[in-house]
Amino acid sequence: MADTKYIFVTGGVSSSLGKGIIAASLAKLLQARGFKTTIQKLDPYINVDPGTLNPYEHGECYVTEDGAETDLDLGHYERFLNVNTSQANNVTTGRIYQSVIEKERRGEFLGKTVQVVPHITNEIKERIQILGKNGDYDIVITEIGGTVGDIESLPYIEAVRQLKWELGDDNALVIHLTLVPYLSAAGELKTKPTQHSVKTLMESGIKADILVCRTEHELSDDIRRKLAIFCNVRQEAVIQSIDAPTIYDVPNMMLKEGLDTVTLKKLSLPDDSTPNLDGWNQFLQRHKNPKAEVHIGLIGKYVELQDSYKSILEAFIHAGAENEVYVNVEYIHSEFINDSTIHNKISHLDGVLVAPGFGERGIEGKIDAVRYARENDLPFLGICLGMQMAVIEFARNVLQLKGANSTEMDAETKHPVIDLMEAQKEVTHKGGTMRLGAWDCELTKDSIIHKVYGEDMIKERHRHRYEYNNKYKEQLENAGMLSTGINPETGLVEIIELKDHPWFVGVQYHPEYKSTVANPHPLFVSFVKAAHEHSVKQKNAKMAQK
């Protein structure tokens, strides 16, 4: 294809309708037809990136291979497409304004008054087209965050209006996602919210080409006709998006609705093939028909909002399907774990994952959970802070280093088994200054982790500021906590495991970011397998007692 085609996904009526899942599902269908497709997210908030946002505010911060701290929707894009994203796939208002102000300071506008139109909108259009102009993609799908009518979204909507006009009808289209609510008192679906949302979009100069309607009930032909007439779209372009058992059902639902067919027609692209979803459907078959169940405790301090650990939860789904088991994740708030509660909260589990995080809140509960897993041969996986908690617990309770801690939690600790890297000690700005992105890690042969990956060298994504303190490495290893993964560039320890334990692994990096439907992460696959083996062993032991 000579020219890249652009698809814009906007939303109305309500947030959290699933623009990211619809964008990812359409991208999957187009990719399954042979089109090279990518997705980007434009976020209207003024933060430069989500890196400094509390997980309760915005869910998890997703990290790309090139070290960009991005919106969690990029995780969906990668999990669906099995293609890496980058800094170019996520743009915020903060980054747009930062770039324009820097250009103004350099004198690039030659004394002109800097305004939203054209300077901010030109910057947005430039960012939208970066991925399209590099020649790697046939189709770029751009999701606009927020809802139509939001003050924050107006510059993006205006940029889309301009770009759609500049590119021409065959090269760009707008998909508008809205809500068709069901009023139980009236016993019917209501189209008025969608009509008003489309009207608001048209007031900004944009006509929706395709309507995707989120609904709890089937849309009748009458409702589709009504929406088509009032919203200026063809009836075949009114797409139903009904509630699904799992997000992984949505591509098949959109295929059934003909979303990909309507899209290709409007972009004047060939519609002469059927999407190849064989691998996807095999995954769905395994996911929906597990042969066993395991219970894994996710120990964290943001458990009230599941999006805080979105990539971990999805990685468990992928690993569960690979093992043909259902992973029942139990959320356990680390602040509520102590000597009197730990047995009731953890003893029935088949595995424990101590989650990543920042700050001292809930730390002692995480350390108690690590100790329980270590002493009771319970499969354990510690991620980032979770790995650091494993080191602290071992130092305190095995090496008997009283008060051992991380300098993040206790700057005056006598035994800083976790400490800041020298390069981090002079850092004053918090945004984008951690160890980020993909780093090499050399694995020790004959270790658990080497068997997991089956490779000598791996590359995994990081997002942290504090590190394993190599001054304590010899003591820890002599006592049985092995360092089985080392970054060859810095000599920093990336992976620890216990010598005399069925399955106990802590990793400084975030394996969950690289788990996809097509390639479940081997560390999660191995952890779930160990949990299943533990479950079977426990059941057999109970049977023997009877």
Cβ proximity of 22 and 250 under 8 Å: yes
Q: Are 148 and 155 in contact (CB under 8 A)?
A: no
Please indicate if the annotation marks 341 as binding a ligand. no
Question: Which of the 8 DSSP states describes residue 402?
Answer: T
43 is in an annotated binding site: no
Return d(Cα 244, Cα 249) in angstroms, integer.
6
65 is in an annotated binding site: no
Whether 386 has a binding-site annotation, put simply, is yes
Three-state DSSP string of 14-79:
CCCCCHHHHHHHHHHHHHHCCCCEEEEEEECCCCCCHHHCCHHHHCCCEECCCCCEECCHHHHHHH
Is 204 flagged in the annotation as binding? no
Is 357 one of the annotated binding-site residues? yes
Is residue 475 a known part of a binding site?
Answer: no
**312 close to 386: Cβ distance less than 8 angstroms:** no
Q: How many separate helices (H) and strands (E) can be counted in the chain? A: 18, 23
SS3 content of the chain, % helix, strand, coil (to 5): 40, 20, 35
Angstrom distance (rounded) from CA 82 to CA 140: 16
Tell the residue number behind the tokens 């139903």, with chain if given: 240
Sign of the dihedral defined by the CA atoms of residues 107, 108, 114, 116, in that order = negative
- The annotation status of 408 as a binding-site residue, yes or no, is yes
**Is position 291 annotated in a ligand binding site?**
no
Task: Check the annotation: does 192 bind a ligand.
Answer: yes
Annotated ligand binding at 272? The verdict is no
Which residues lie below 8 Å from residue 296, measured CB to CB, with a gap of 6+? 316, 327, 328, 329, 330, 349, 350, 351, 352, 353, 528, 531
Tokens standing for 159?
A: 């940029």
Which one is catalytic: 61, 213, 231, 384?
Answer: 384
Q: Any binding-site annotation on 385?
A: yes
Alpha helix positions (H), 73-191? 73-81, 93-105, 121-133, 154-167
226 marked among binding-site residues: yes
Half-sphere exposure of 273 (CA within 13 A, CB side): 12
108 is in an annotated binding site: no
Q: Which two tokens stand for residue 519?
A: 């390639």
Q: Is the dihedral of CA 315, 319, 322, 327 positive or negative?
A: negative
Contact 228, 235 (CB under 8 A): yes
Catalytic (active site) residue 512 = yes
- Which of the residues 60, 123, 322, 512 is marked catalytic? 512
Residue 510: active-site member: yes
- 152 among annotated binding-site residues: yes
| 514 labeled part of a ligand binding site | no
Q: Is 145 annotated as a binding residue?
A: no
19 is in an annotated binding site: yes
Residue 387 annotated as binding site: yes
Catalytic residue selected from 415, 464, 510, 534: 510
Q: Are 366 and 381 in contact (CB under 8 A)?
A: no
Q: Is residue 193 a known part of a binding site?
A: yes
Q: Is 199 annotated as a binding residue?
A: no
Residues involved in catalysis: 384, 510, 512
Q: Which residues are annotated as a binding site for UTP?
A: 15, 190-195, 226
Query: Annotated binding residues for CTP, as ranges?
Result: 15, 150-152, 190-195, 226
Residue set of the binding site for ATP: 16-21, 73, 244
Q: Which residues are annotated as a binding site for L-glutamine?
A: 56, 357, 385-388, 408, 465
Residues in the annotated binding site:
15-21, 56, 73, 143, 150-152, 190-195, 226, 244, 357, 385-388, 408, 465
Which residue numbers belong to the known binding site for Mg(2+)?
73, 143
